[in-house]
A and B are shown apart, each in its own frame.
Chain A
Amino acid sequence: MDAQTIIARRVARELRSGDLVNLGIGIPTLVANYVPADLKVFFQSENGLIGTGPIPEQGMAHPTLTDAGGRPISALPGASTFDSAMSFGLIRGGHVDVTVLGGLQVDAEGHLANWMIPGKMVPGMGGAMDLVSGAKRVIVAMQHAAKGKSKIVPRCSLPLTSVRPVNLVVTDMAVIGFPDGRATLLETAPGVGIGEVMAVTEAELVVPDNVPEMRI
């Protein structure tokens, strides 16, 4: 199983029936593929839709039914549409139960940086800052390391997305939580040892006595 699939499958297990969920672009988008059919989850697209469905079949796309990247999507029975003030009222107002976002860095206290690399990549924050500030639970879905460099760092060197810490980080190697505000190793990926995780993690990790294997 590739890294992205491991991450997406593990994150999907965090969702509960009735949750209103906002998925960011990249790995987070894949999470929707692994939600069990009997779980009634509402997916929000921040351009104004609750109840996003799969990508329409060839020739069935409608120009006014799109995701936040402007790509065609479908709407499930029971979907609703609304303007951007409502959409971000839902996000900032604590009505979104879970948001899953990509990350560039997460630090030892759970702070996320995911919107710019000064001098290199300045695309704008879009809805990321509101999502991290307002969603009830924030889950970061990202590779553990990029080009051999840990993305879990003692302190973010990149500009923060929010001062509100995230709740959970799911990588291809581990699940990390922040009880008492300290990065804690909660699970390891199948076939990955605690030592391996520690070796590629730059931030100090609290390691409890029992660290179960990720169930995916």
Chain B
Amino acid sequence: MKAVSVEEAVAMIPAGASVMVGGFMGVGTPERLLDEVTRQRKSGLSLICNDAATPGKGVGKLFDAALVARLTATHIGLNPKAQQQMLANQIDVDLVPQGTFVERIRAGGCGLGGVLTPTGVGTLVAEGKRQIEVDGRPFLLETALRAQFALVHAFLADYLGNLSYALTSRNFNPIMAMAADTVIVTAEHIVPVGVIAPDHVVTPAPLVDYLITNG
């Protein structure tokens, strides 16, 4: 793990990059990284995030600034700007059931080619996908999802990069921290090694590439 400023970290992300962002309706989202992505105008992003949050909050800022070219998400109904951009064909949107979304990312981070899920069998979601029977039950083959960058928000990070999360801000963060080539983390508090007990570390330090320094 290397400690860097938010400006340095975002400068590493090229325009058009694939980026996973943790958070659920903007809760548990690395706001400082998104503010800087917006300031440096990293456009044409391929965004992987549960939802589009709301305008002005979380990844909603990326839609405010029209920086997203492709979106993989489960729900965008609470962000009218993302809806408008989708209906105007300004962004290419792939809507995925939430359980499938998180398992595809988990698979991507765990060296699996994909997962078999009953969710979506016989619906629009099944179009173009392989259906596989296991013990007489039909499943869809859903392939693994990875990104060049994961932008993760933790509650505590220690000086080595061990992470723990708070309440419902955990959501997709620890899963995404395993599924990207480069993992960049912001934390509410940066604390000495040992403050997070081994049993309470959720994301082990070797998974973290860059920790954004405070202040």
Rounded to whole angstroms, the CA-CA distance of A62 and B188 in the bound complex is 14
Is A127 in contact with B27, judged by CB distance below 8 angstroms?
A: no
Q: Contacting chain B: which of A2-10, A41-49, A174-182?
A: A41-49
Interface hits, A45-98 → B, CB 8 Å:
45-49, 62-66, 68-70, 75, 81-85, 87-88, 91-92
How many A-B pairs have beta carbons closer than 8 Å: the answer is: 141
Q: A84-B50, A127-B97 are in contact. Are A49 and B171 (CB under 8 A)?
A: no
Rounded to whole angstroms, the CA-CA distance of A81 and B103 in the bound complex is 18
Tell me which of B98, B120, B170 has the highest count of chain A C-beta atoms within 10 A of its own C-beta.
B98
Rounded to whole angstroms, the CA-CA distance of A70 and B103 in the bound complex is 22
Rounded to whole angstroms, the CA-CA distance of A47 and B171 in the bound complex is 6
Rounded to whole angstroms, the CA-CA distance of A87 and B173 in the bound complex is 13
Is B125 in contact with A129, judged by CB distance below 8 angstroms?
A: yes
Interface size in chain B (residues, C-beta < 8 A):
48
Residues of A within 8 A of B54 (CB): 70
Is A84 in contact with B167, judged by CB distance below 8 angstroms?
A: no
Interface residues of B (CB under 8 A from A): 24-28, 50-51, 53-54, 73-78, 83, 86-87, 95, 97-100, 102-103, 106, 117-125, 155, 165-175, 202
Is B73 in contact with A49, judged by CB distance below 8 angstroms?
A: no
Interface residues of A (CB under 8 A from B): 45-49, 62-66, 68-70, 75, 81-85, 87-88, 91-92, 121-130, 133-134, 159-163
From B87, B97, B122, contact of A130 by CB (8 A): B97
Is A84 in contact with B168, judged by CB distance below 8 angstroms?
A: no
Is A159 in contact with B24, judged by CB distance below 8 angstroms?
A: no
Residues of B within 8 A of A45 (CB): 168
A163 to chain B, nearest CB (A): 4
Residues of A within 8 A of B83 (CB): 122-123
Is A47 in contact with B25, judged by CB distance below 8 angstroms?
A: yes
Is A130 in contact with B95, judged by CB distance below 8 angstroms?
A: no
Tell me which of B119, B120, B166 has the highest count of chain A C-beta atoms within 10 A of its own C-beta.
B119
Cβ contacts A to B, 9 pairs, < 8 Å: A63-B169, A68-B25, A81-B167, A81-B170, A84-B24, A84-B171, A123-B77, A125-B74, A161-B123
Residues of B within 8 A of A65 (CB): 167-168
Rounded to whole angstroms, the CA-CA distance of A69 and B95 in the bound complex is 17
Give the 7 A-B residue pairs with the shortest CB-CB distance, closest first: A123-B77, A70-B25, A88-B99, A130-B99, A163-B122, A124-B75, A126-B75
Rounded to whole angstroms, the CA-CA distance of A83 and B175 in the bound complex is 8
Is B118 in contact with A133, judged by CB distance below 8 angstroms?
A: yes
